[in-house]
Structure 1
Amino acid sequence: MNPVVSLLWVAATVLFGSAASAASLTAEFFDPQGKPLGDAVLTLQGPSGKADLAPKADMDQRDQRFAPHVLAVRTGTQISFPNSDNIRHQVYSFSPAKRFELRLYGGTPSDPVLFDKPGVVVLGCNIHDWMLGYVYVTDDPWFGVSSDRGTLTLSQLPPGHYKATLWHPQAPDMQPVSAGEFDIPPGGLRQRFTVAVQPKPDDMPAEPAPSAFGDAFHKAAHE
């Protein structure tokens, strides 16, 4: 066999063999009343292997809200905080996993913030008390956040046995909880999760709620 053809055949075998062995998890999240639940964070520990690195991420500010409301990242990620509003914001956090402050600014700060410790980081704005955002920093190799429809698909997973962890900002004590163990076969798996959550307050109350950040921070920091 021609050496070039032989090398191409080996490369194709490795590529398609790897793709064929990858599985996926389709997760569906519901609250106790059976309604689809967005902003749920699912993390997985499983077979040995490396997930793709994501060293950079964005947490925007649009319409006086953090966007996304919940951002999940791997430990060691650098996060930029662009301000897409036509007014200035002052982003800060007192959370043990990351303490920082970006003084009053518009546009995008020149330097991203390094999130180098796992944990829940509660974000606030010194100017707009109702603005709350969350960064969930994890050491687990596979993770994601559910959509508004309460769904999340994790692909390129090695088939095998997994341990799952769940977190949601409306959980009673805002701490991660075990979501059990299960096997993901080569053909993939669809799994349903029910998450205990408290009723969601209005995102933007008519009157600012100065205690909103403090309450969320206290729950996240209580370990």
Structure 2
Amino acid sequence: MFGTTAAAAAALTVQVTAGESATAADAVVYLESAAGQALPKLGRPAQIEQKGRAFLPVVTVVQTGASISFPNNDTVRHQVYSFSPAKVFELKLYSGAGGEPLLFDKPGTVIIGCNIHDKMSAYIQVVDTPYFAKTDTTGKAVIDNLPAGKYNLKVWYRTIPPGTPVPEQAVTFAGTDAAIAFSLNKK
């Protein structure tokens, strides 16, 4: 039911809003199997660059089992860390490549910072599905190559307090291109 083939897979466009007229840029949209079936493990690697005393991008999403590298392309050294339950780590002061990529093997939100530059922070959302996307500046995300099936659509946004359940809704996807609106302010 969840194998992807060119004939059976299509795209789901999700428009995320954070208020009556506010769009939710950099929200993470992902689909989990409603039946609890195992989904393919793709584990595509990612990169979070340090440049201009900032992490780029500010929000990254990866599937559980993916590795992330943290190259320092800045003019100063950084010491990247996280105390988040999904991934605790510390990369000692460095510049350049920064060593081996780190494996993110637990789902959840990872907040990263720099011990040297307190204003530097970023978010990593680790999800147990290959069906995810990040919204653009207009709040739109497109999940491609999605096979037909029943899913739970979940949306993570950095303004959701830690420990708060991620908003979700049931979605039946017919295997043809479709669009859905998702409001983070549902009561």
- TM-score by length of structure 2 reads 0.88
Paired amino acid for 1:58: Q
1:73 and 1:138 in contact (8 A); partners too: yes
Cα distance in 2 for residues equivalent to 1:109 and 1:118: 24
Residue 80 of structure 1, aligned match among 51, 61, 69: 69
Q: How many Å apart are 1:55 and its aligned residue?
A: 3.7
- The one-letter code sitting in structure 2 at the alignment partner of 1:45 is E
Following TM superposition, the consecutive aligned residue runs of length 4 or more in structure 1 with deviations greater than 6 angstroms are: none
Gaps of 5+ in 1: 1-16, 197-223
Give the helix-richer structure, 1 or 2.
Answer: 1
Identity of aligned residues (%): 40
Q: Which AA in structure 2 matches 1:140?
A: T
Q: 2:24 aligns with which of 37, 44, 51?
A: 37
Higher alpha-carbon Rg: 1
Q: Does residue 135 of structure 2 align to residue 138 of structure 1?
A: no
Paired residue for 2:136?
147
For the 8 Å contact 1:23–1:184, the answer to whether it is kept is no
Cα-Cα RMSD = 2.0
Amino acid paired to 2:79: Q
Question: Which amino acid in 1 is paired with 2:7?
Answer: A
Relative to structure 2, which stretch is displaced further, 174-183 or 37-46?
174-183
Unaligned runs of 5+ in 2: none
* 1:50 Cα deviation after fit: 4.6
Q: TM (normalized to structure 1)?
A: 0.74
Equivalenced residue count is 180
1:27 aligns with 2:11: no
The structure showing larger relative contact order (alpha-carbon pairs under 8 Å, at least 6 residues apart) is 2
Q: What is the CA distance between 1:107 and its match in structure 2?
A: 1.1
- Distance change >3 Å, CA 178–CA 35, structure 1 → 2: closer
Partner of 1:192: 181
